[in-house]
Amino acid sequence: MKRIGLLTSGGDCQALNAAMRGVVKTIAHSGQPVEIYGFLDGYRGLIYGNFRMLTGSDFSGILTKGGTILGSSRTPFKTITEPDENGLDKVEAMKQNYYKLKLDCLVVLGGNGSHKTANLLSKEGLNIVTLPKTIDNDLWGTDMTFGFQSAVDIATQAIDCIHTTAASHGRVFIVEVMGHKVGWLTLNAGMAGGADIILIPEIPYDIDKVVDKIEEREKSGSKFTIIAVAEGAVSKEVAKLSKKDRKKLAEKPGYPSVSYEIAAQIQEKTGREVRVTVPGHTQRGGSPCPYDRVFATRLGAEAGELILNNEYGFMVGYRNREIVKVPLDKVAGKLKYLDPDATIIKEAKLTGICFGD
């Protein structure tokens, strides 16, 4: 008998359900009897003992379903070792609930913050297996996270739609793409959507270079320009600031996001009409794309196999086109940034895409 806890933590993404289904189907298919405890709303469910007993039928028909059947929440790692408002020791509470239910292991589907907590619980002696989820694709130790390709599809569709209206009106359009502090999503959606300018956090931009590109396009007869801006994009000036000064600047009242600031600067410098579109959380919503369904199922199946083999303390990741197991302490606390010298960026530049550098 295997007694397994499952939880989905942090911002949701597509294919969370597909991944859990992969884990459960693999164990069930092995013939090993299994009891599944689904903790509700991420680590919160584990802390406060909120769970649902699940059976195989709960995982039937969810391959294509967006969101997570367990619910999710953000439980910041920064405060995980601090008592809650009622003085509860959260780490101790998670351990107690794990032991009370006599779990053999806990499967955590999460991104960066969730992996820090997963690593901490693993160090505290719990058997943990994790799966890499996030539309940001910023998790260390895996070339790809599930949710990413689905989000690329949605952001690309947004850029595609903007393209036609931008062409009709001869306007400059900014599409702001999610991705937190990294530019994976913006780069991929930007290239797929034929953006003329792509601004990502890893390559701080010079607004004058952005303006030059718009004018160069105008001179060559293109009446419109599409700019894909990562929500975490920074100017060269801001990039020079210390972390503390950047935080202070972000706290000052100002533009709703970096895209609006860029739009105002372009408008002022060129006199052209600029519009901003923010697809926002639509990028995390809806059904997973076929790639993510397959990918999440594969990762889930491999996690199921680790559990059957009693191998714990790993994230199931994907490197150089192979599924790999990565020790949790190698994953936790590191962000996977885009390398500004990566060949994909070189190739994008070869085709004339401007990165504002």
Catalytic residue numbers read 136
- The footprint of ligand F6P on residues 41-70 (CB under 6 A) is none
- Report the phi/psi class of residue 109: left, alpha or beta, with left for phi > 0 and alpha for psi in -120 to 50: beta
Per-residue CA distances from 214 to 144, 151, 269, 324 (Å): 33, 27, 11, 44
**How far is CA 240 from its chain centroid?**
26
Query: Of 90 and 284, which has the nearer Cβ to ligand F6P?
Result: 284
Q: Which of 25, 44, 133, 284 binds ligand F6P (CB under 6 A)?
A: 284
Note whether 21 binds ligand F6P by CB under 6 A: no
- The footprint of ligand F6P on residues 135-164 (CB under 6 A) is 135-136
Query: Of 25 and 180, which has the nearer Cβ to ligand F6P?
Result: 180
Note whether 204 binds ligand F6P by CB under 6 A: no
Element at 316 (helix H, strand E): strand 314-319
Closest residue by Cα to residue 37 from 90, 84, 99, 106:
106
Note whether 180 binds ligand F6P by CB under 6 A: yes
Q: Which of 11, 42, 190, 304 binds ligand F6P (CB under 6 A)?
A: 11
Query: Of 53 and 335, which has the nearer Cβ to ligand F6P?
Result: 335
- Report the phi/psi class of residue 284: left, alpha or beta, with left for phi > 0 and alpha for psi in -120 to 50: alpha
Stretch of 37-45, 115-123, 178-186, 233-241 contacting ligand F6P, by CB under 6 A: 178-186
Element at 228 (helix H, strand E): strand 225-230
Size of site (CB under 6 A) for ligand F6P: 10
List Cβ neighbours of 125 (8 Å cut-off, separation of 6 or more). 95
Query: Of 116 and 213, which has the nearer Cβ to ligand F6P?
Result: 116
Q: Do 230 and 200 contact (CB within 8 A), yes or no?
A: yes
Interface residue list for ligand F6P (CB under 6 A): 11, 111, 134-136, 178-180, 231, 284
